[in-house]
Amino acid sequence: MSLFRFTVTSTTIEVTHQARPAQYTNWLLDLNGYDHTAHREIKRAMHAYLDNNRTATARDIAVEGPGDMWYPVFWPIHDCLDYGGDPQEVRRNAGKFLGLILWEVMLARNDEWQFTKYPKDMENEDFYVTHYYSIPRYIHAAIGERQHQNRLRHGRTSPGPEELARQLTQKWRHG
């Protein structure tokens, strides 16, 4: 269990499939043909980022500082799609492919993440920016802090926000 969508009716749906599988497979063939080690290294870099952060977007992971320069490990994504066409289209497709690789990584995680999507450009795009949130380290931590403050405000004892978050995570995992 790793990737979940929360609905407006407070239900939870586990996501188990790759987004845009046909497009992803085609681009992955391009990447593997360009550099057979790149996919593994990109996923390693993404996992390392996710291990140390509570929220993420593909841009958060790939972009070095302010601006749009990617870390070198991610350059093969762009380079494998550059067949001499429109540079802006290559750049857009590279960003989409980056997001699809991140989706694959999220499906393989051992910890739980929730995501939200929003359109990057409503008029010209059908791909969405996906923002991921660690369920135990972001969502449960925030709820644990609120529960802790509420207990103290009402004169009750509290085991502390970390313990309350841990309890929420255990309840989440075991129903």
- Residue 124 vs residue 85, higher pLDDT: 85
Helices 161-174 & 140-153, crossing angle to 10 degrees? Answer: 130
Q: According to the model, what pLDDT value does residue 122 have?
A: 52
Closest CA relative to residue 112, chosen from 133, 131, 130: 133
Spell out the SS3 assignment of the chain.
CCEEEECCCCCEEECCCCCCHHHHHHHHHHHHHHCCCHHHHHHHHHHHHHHCCCEECHHHHHECCCCCCECHHHHHHHHHHCCCCCHHHHHHHHHHHHHHHHHHHHHHCCCCEEEEEEECCCCCCCCEEEEEEEHHHHHHHHHHHHHHHHHHHCCCCCCCHHHHHHHHHHHHHHC
**Is the pLDDT score of 170 beyond 80?**
yes
Q: According to the model, what pLDDT value does residue 138 have?
A: 87
Residue 17: pLDDT band (50, 70, 90) is very high
pTM for the structure as a whole: 0.86
Q: Which residues is 118 bridged to in the sheet?
A: 129
